[in-house]
Amino acid sequence: MLRLLPQSDAQILRGFIPNYLSPTHSSVQLHLPDAPDAKGSFVSAAVKSSASAAGINSSTRSGVLDKVKMADVATEGGKSVSRSRKPPALEVEGIGIEGISIGGHETCIMIPSMKVAFDIGRCPQRAISHDFLFISHGHMDHIGGIAMYIATRGLYKMRPPTIIVPKCIKTTVEKLLAVYRELDGSELAVNLIGMDVGEEYDMGKNFVVKAFKTYHVVPSQGYLIYAVKKKLKAEYLNLSGQEIKDLKMKGVEITDTTRTPEVAFTGDTTGEFITDEGNADVLNAKLLVMEATFLDEATSLKHARDWGHTHIFEIAELAERFQNKAILFIHFSARYSSETILDAVSKLPASLRDRVTPFLEGW
C-alpha cells in the first residue's frame, strides 16, 4: 500500500497521483494490488488510524489506499481489447466502479459492466474502452476531455461512441468538435445525441437510460439507467414452443416488461433534485452516484445553492428520502482532506451512513 503524504505534499500532488482511499461497508469490496511505498515497505497502519479518527468502526469498514494502473487499450482485428484484465478498483452492491471526481478539477465515473462513462473532464485512459458517454452539463471539468475520448477511440479503430448531452447544448458541442476536426484533421466519428429531461435511449443489452432533472447554474441533467427484463406472461407458461410462436406471429404480446432502476448519476446539482417528485426512481436506484461538494460549516447551504451544488448538511436532513441500496459521494471540493471527508460521512444519520461510500480517487 502507499505511504500517506503530509497534508502539504498531498495538496501539491492531488490530481496527479491516482490513489483510491475509500471506506468499505458490508456491501463494498475493494480489490487491492500490492503497491509498495516510496521506500519499498508496505504501510497500512496510517490508513487505519485515519479511519479511527473519522469515528468509523473497523468492524464495518477499513480505510485503504489502492493504486490502480489504468488499462491500456489496443485492437485486434478491428476489435477493442484491454491489455489489463484487472477488476474495477471499487465494487458497490455488485457494481464495479472506476474513475475520478474532484470538484472543479475533473469528473469521470465509469461503470465497466455497462460500458458507460458519466462525464469526462480530462479523459482517463480507461474511459476509452467505454462505448457510452453521458454528459451532465457543459462545465469544463465535466466535458473537457470529450474530443480526446472520441479521437482516441478512432485511433484504435474502435466503433464510434454514443455520447448523450443535454439537448440544449448539442449544437454547441457539434461546433466544438468541428473546431477540433479542423485543428487535428481527425474524423472524430461519433453518434452524438441531444436528450431532454424525461426522454429515453435504448442502450441495447437490456439497458435503457433516461435523463432526469437536476439543478445547476448552467443547463444540466442526470442520467438513470434501467435494467429491462421481459418475462412470459403467466397465462402462457404451459404452452408449447410452437403455440407461443404462433401467438407471436399473430401479434399477441406474450411477455410482461419490468424495469428496475440500477444506476443513477447526478452530475452537479443542488439538493433540489432530492425533493423533485419526478426523481422518485433516482432515489430508488440500486446505486446512486451523487455530488456532495461541501461538507462543513465554513460553507453555508445558501452558498452551496448559489453555486449550484449540494451540501452534506441537506443530505443529512433529507436522509429518509434515500431508498438506494448504496450511495457513492463524488465531487468533493479540493479544499478537503481525505480525513475531513471521512469524518463528515461518519456524522451522517446511521440509516444513511451505512450505505454511503465516498469516492476519493486523487486524495
Classify residue 256 as exposed, middle or buried by CB count within 10 Å of its CB (0-12, 13-18, 19+): exposed
Distances in whole angstroms, Cα of residue 327 to Cα of each of 28, 87, 161, 281, 322: 11, 20, 27, 14, 9
Q: What is the mean pLDDT of the chain?
A: 82
Taking the alpha carbons of 193, 175, 266, 306 in that order, is the dihedral positive or negative?
A: negative
Using DSSP's 3-state secondary structure scheme, residue 315 falls into helix
Question: 173-182, 204-213, 241-250: lowest mean pLDDT where?
Answer: 241-250
Looking at 250-325, list the stretches that DSSP marks H as alpha helix, in order from N- to C-terminal side.
Answer: 272-275, 301-306, 312-317
Q: Where is pLDDT greater, at 217 or 234? A: 217
Q: Could you report the per-residue pLDDT of 64-74, keeping only the tens digit for each?
A: 333 333 334 44
Q: Could you report the per-residue pLDDT of 294-327, keeping only the tens digit for each?
A: 999 999 999 999 999 999 999 999 999 999 999 9
- Domain positions in the chain: 7-358
What stretch of H or E contains 332? strand 332-333
Q: Answer yes or no: is pLDDT of 18 > 80.
A: no
pLDDT of residue 6: 41
The phi, psi pair for 361, rounded to 5°, reads: -60, 130
Which residues partner with 217 through β-bridges? Answer: none
C-alpha radius of gyration, the chain, whole number? 22
Is 7-358 assigned to CATH 3.60.15.10? yes
pLDDT of residue 247: 82
In the structure, what pLDDT confidence band is assigned to residue 85 with cuts at 50, 70 and 90?
Answer: low
Q: Could you report the per-residue pLDDT of 154-171, keeping only the tens digit for each?
A: 999 999 999 999 999 999
| Residue 277 grid cell | 417528485
Q: Could you report the per-residue pLDDT of 182-218, keeping only the tens digit for each?
A: 999 999 999 999 999 999 999 999 999 999 999 999 9
